[in-house]
Structure 1
Amino acid sequence: MTSPTTPSEKKKKEPLKLLIYCPSDLILAGILKSIEADKEIEVVGVEKTTIDSLLEAIRKNTPEVVLFSNTEPVPNLREICKAIRDALGKGKRPQLLLLGTIPSHEEIVGLMNSGMRGYFDINDHSNQLSEAIRVVHRGEIWLPRDKMSSIMDRIISVVGKDLREKSLDQLTPTEFQVLRLIGQGKSNEEIAQALFISKNTVRSHIKSIYAKLNTHSRLQLALYAINSALF
């Protein structure tokens, strides 16, 4: 006998709510074409004019993800990210995915600290856009893999250099290398190979890092490094 579907299970099947900001009709058409076949994404609104109208649309439609086209760079983008993040108040923050040409590492870090959770390169394959939207919806980070590795390298080196008085100074040299490799998206097996240790030893190091940094997941380790670097 099949068990009845619970309310929580029904909720999981509901499409995520996406709001799009894109002043360009041409780019907007491409965005909509890229995601039209994805039944897991529901476009609840499209804004093309002012930032004020975008914020009003966020408050009206309560999207879970905001896709912001930055193909025509706007001034004060970090402040706009903060306004989008805070538009619904604490506890109801929409996840923000920017679309455009990938900026400098420093600018990406600044945008992430302002509320951005992903940056989709307009030169990437359009069939990856739906996946990018789902990734940021889960609260994870979307960046091209090569950009993620180099950004995390820079962030972790800054943390190691400038924040010795913080809790990162509790890490052993090997734990610090494990953290660095996690930031590059390496699996436990890849970390073990890179550091010439066993996978069990890698797991032990990660458990120790979690305890020392008061974190509970790989994503939190990456975010910890980002937030600490900008402290």
Structure 2
Amino acid sequence: MTAGPRAGIRLVVADDHEVVRAGYAGLLATQSDFTVVGTARDGAEAVRGCREQSPDVVLMDVRMPVMDGIEATARLRGGVTAPRVLVLTTFDLDEHVYDALAAGASGFLLKDVTAERLFEAVRVVAAGEALLAPAVTRRLIAEFARLRPRAPAPGTLSGLTPRETDVLRLLAEGLSNPEIAERLGVGEETVKTHVSRILSKLGLRDRTQAVVRAYESGLVVPRLP
């Protein structure tokens, strides 16, 4: 694991292919507000490095030796200062992407992403915003919830108010904040407040995790094709 000084958005790149790993690290280092504080060859090294360097964002390959990106993401999520994880994948409708999102990743990027899109994604996730368009998140999670159904976890949403439950349901159905506000007849700032409270009450880090929780709790049922 290599390390660098503290500045701007701190990043770790985890990929078992040296050329890919070095390529992403070099590309990210061209941005004045990014600092690549480490690279990792596998998930176990990524977890150790993140605990040492406390990055803001990790670019995480899914398929790696020793420990894959899914397990590494789950282990990082339990940390006190857990970084946000961007999963690197070859196919957008890959079951491993769903597993990574369920494990705590904030979003995913295809490996052929353009440089500008990569930079934008890192900044968006570092700021705590949703990387994926709500409709894309819903489509992905709904598809794998349908293919691999799980028994609803009772009581997981019991701490939410009826209005917060309504907001979570609409969020999971793919509506944006303005669309939720229009549907419920409230202001957009009110919706943002509800979303923040939902995340806080459920112990979630972002909207992507809220969508996962809505499906796994049974609040939203995947549509059959």
TM-score category by the smaller chain? 0.5 to 0.7
**How far apart, in 1, do the equivalents of 2:35 and 2:192 lie?**
37
1:34 and 1:127 in contact (8 A); partners too: no
Instruction: Determine the C-alpha separation between the residues in 1 that align with 2:191 and 2:48.
Output: 46
Match of 2:91? 102
> What secondary structure, in the 3-state scheme, does the structure 2 residue paired with 1:58 have?
helix
1:226 equivalent in structure 2: 212
Give the superposition deviation at 1:123: 2.6
Of residues 38, 56, 75 in structure 1, which corresponds to 2:48?
Answer: 56
Q: Which residue of 2 aligns with 1:92?
A: 81
The residue type paired with residue 67 of structure 1 is L
Which of 17, 24, 32 is matched with 1:39 structurally?
A: 32
Show the counterpart of 2:176. Answer: 186
| Partner amino acid, structure 2, of 1:51 | G
**Cross-structure match for 1:121:** 110
Report deviation, 1:63. 1.6
In structure 1, how many angstroms separate the alpha carbons of the residues matched to 2:68 and 2:141? 24
What displacement does 1:25 show?
2.9
Question: Helix, strand or coil for the counterpart of 1:120?
Answer: strand
Measured in 2, the distance between the counterparts of 1:142 and 1:37 equals: 21
RMSD: 4.4
1:1-231 matches, within 5 Å, as: 14-48=7-41, 50-70=42-62, 72=63, 76-86=68-78, 90-104=79-93, 107-143=96-132, 147-151=136-140, 176=166, 179=168, 181-183=170-172, 184-188=174-178, 190=179, 223-231=209-217
The residue number in structure 1 matching 2:222 is none
Partner SS for 1:28: helix
> Secondary structure at 2:106's aligned position in 1?
strand
Give 1:7's aligned residue: none
In 2, Cα distance between the equivalents of 1:17 and 1:208? 29
Paired residue total: 205
Greater percentage in helix: 1
CA contact (8 A) 2:9 2:56 kept: yes
Q: Which amino acid aligns with 1:130?
A: F
Distance change (3 Å), C-alpha of 1:210 and 1:51: closer
Residues 91-118 of structure 1: per-residue CA shift (max 9 Å, x gap): 2112211112235465433322312112
Partner letter of residue 62 of structure 1? Answer: S
Unaligned runs of 5+ in 1: 1-13
Q: What SS does the corresponding residue of 1:39 show, helix, strand or coil?
A: coil
* CA distance in 1 between partners of 2:154 and 2:104 (Å): 26
CA contact (8 A) 1:135 1:142 kept: yes
Deviations 1:53-98, CA, capped at 9 Å, x for gaps: 333322222222221233x555754322222334xxx421122111
Task: Return closer, same or farther for 1:52/1:77 CA change in 2, 3 Å cut-off.
Answer: closer
Shift of 1:15: 0.1
> Is the Cα contact below 8 Å between 2:85 and 2:107 reproduced in 1?
yes
Contact 1:96-1:117 at 8 Å conserved across structures: yes
Q: Would the aligned equivalents of 2:25 and 2:39 in 1 still touch at CA under 8 Å?
A: no
| d(CA) in 2 for partners of 1:126, 1:51 | 24
Normalising by structure 2, report the TM-score. Answer: 0.64
CA distance, structure 2, for counterparts of residue 46 and residue 213 of structure 1: 30
Q: What is the distance in 1 between the residues matched to 2:106 and 2:40?
A: 20
